[in-house]
Amino acid sequence: MSIFFDGSTLLVWSGSMYKERAYGPSYGHTLCFLSFLSPILLLLPLLNSVYQDWDDPLVMSNSICLSCAVTQVAMKIVVCRIQRHHFQAIILEMITFLKDANGLERKVVQYYVNKHVILHLVLSVGCLLTALNFVCGPFLLSTSLPTDAKYPFSMNSSFVRCVLYSHQSFVAFQVSSGMTIDCLCASLLWYTAARFKLLAKNFQDVKNKHDFFQCVRQHQHLLKYANNVRSATQFLIFSTVITGTIGIVFASVPLFTSFYELRCQNYHWSRRTFDLEKLPPTSASMVLHINGAFYVTHQQVNCLNKNANKLDPLLYGYDM
């Protein structure tokens, strides 16, 4: 479950609690503060980019989407730090149960594991590859940094750009590991469902009063466990839903913006000077281009077909 990132940069699990006991509370507080400060130091320049590039819908929407991702990991760091005792307790109980599980219990848990293991792996690997692609962007594109963040100081120095690139790359992997926290929450919910299924099986196999009382006690314990899972994961789920929704909304802004609106925003509303040749084409010119391409393709495909429909070139933007 991405133990290194989840434990060290997001403070959810791994050996962080043991180190905190060994080095004292100051260790956990310091590590949490540094982990939280890292995305915040990128969030502020991204918000500055949103303000300065408000007239550029592409850059603006991209900065808002990245701001949502950075905000999400910052929120998860805070939530995981506050709920760390809940997480440690419920995960420790899950590990203890799996170590002592009998054949039937392992079979039921394995059934639920098989249902979501592929999704978990795809999401985890996909998030990691996305972060790698994001980090490698400056080497493949004509950009000096992975993001369009605007800093209040000059970035002409190579040393400054190197430091900023390293920081943005680290935050990218923080965001990637933050996504796997959602997989952790899903795993806890799947495990809780498996425990209730086992409890239902135990109720069906009740033979005497003692077995019935044991099932009732287990039911009460599972209700408490499920409530602890809900308390630990609800704010994580909320942070994912709210930031993901905002990101999707603003990511779709360029899709619902016509070429004419893009030209107006880039030319009339911009405080900068634009080369007319770099402006987006008008919708009418795009229609003419598509019609012309269709006519040429039709002629080439049916050049040897005598029975093919003959198209009027005048209707497709060609002059006779």
Q: 126-139, pLDDT tens digit by residue? A: 888 989 988 888 88
DSSP label of 20? H
Average pLDDT estimate for 114-128: 87
Average pLDDT estimate for 133-160: 86
Residues 6+ away with beta carbon under 8 Å from 106: 98
pLDDT of residue 61: 83
CB 68 within 8 A of CB 175: no
Average pLDDT estimate for 12-30: 58
How many helices (H) and strands (E) are present in the chain, helices listed first? 11, 0
pLDDT at 71 over 90: yes
pLDDT at 167 over 90: yes
pLDDT of residue 170: 92
Prediction pTM value:
0.70
Q: Which sign, positive or negative, has the C-alpha torsion 232, 237, 240, 245?
A: negative
pLDDT at 273 over 70: no
pLDDT of residue 4: 36
* Confidence band of 291 (pLDDT split at 50, 70, 90): confident
Average pLDDT estimate for 162-175: 92
Looking at every residue in the chain, the average pLDDT score rounds to 80
pLDDT of residue 279: 59
* Confidence band of 80 (pLDDT split at 50, 70, 90): confident
Q: Helix, strand or coil for residue 146? A: coil
